[in-house]
Amino acid sequence: MLFTPLGYRILVERSEEPTKTASGIIIPDNAKEKPLDGKVVAVSKAIKEKGEIAVGDIVVFGKYAGAEIKIDGKDYVVLNNSEKNDDILGVRK
């Protein structure tokens, strides 16, 4: 992948959208909601220096947070983690 986030940003690959409910009902595409978590695939130099978030972490973010981009046919979200604008709600372990 040829993408390096700048400033205080990270690149996140969203988690897979569920296709069935727990009881086995199939969810149609128009009724699915985008997952609000994902795996960190790239971090900026400033984020590496802070040491709070690393590649491979699972982060949780707000419904309307970040900017959606497409790289090599895959959808990603670029999130900001600066002190003034924090799109990231937490890190799941």
- Position 23 scores a pLDDT of 82
The stretches of the chain forming alpha helices (DSSP H) are 45-50
What is the mean predicted confidence (pLDDT) over 16-26? 77
- Position 31 scores a pLDDT of 65
Higher pLDDT, 90 or 21: 90
Put the strands of the sheet holding 37-43 in their side by side order.
Answer: 67-71, 74-80, 9-14, 37-43, 58-61, 88-92
Domains present along the chain, CATH in parentheses:
9-92 (2.30.33.40)
Average pLDDT over the chain, rounded to whole?
87
**3-state SS class at 38:** strand
What is the mean predicted confidence (pLDDT) over 10-34? 79
- Position 32 scores a pLDDT of 67
pLDDT tens digit sequence for 40-61: 999 999 999 988 899 999 999 9
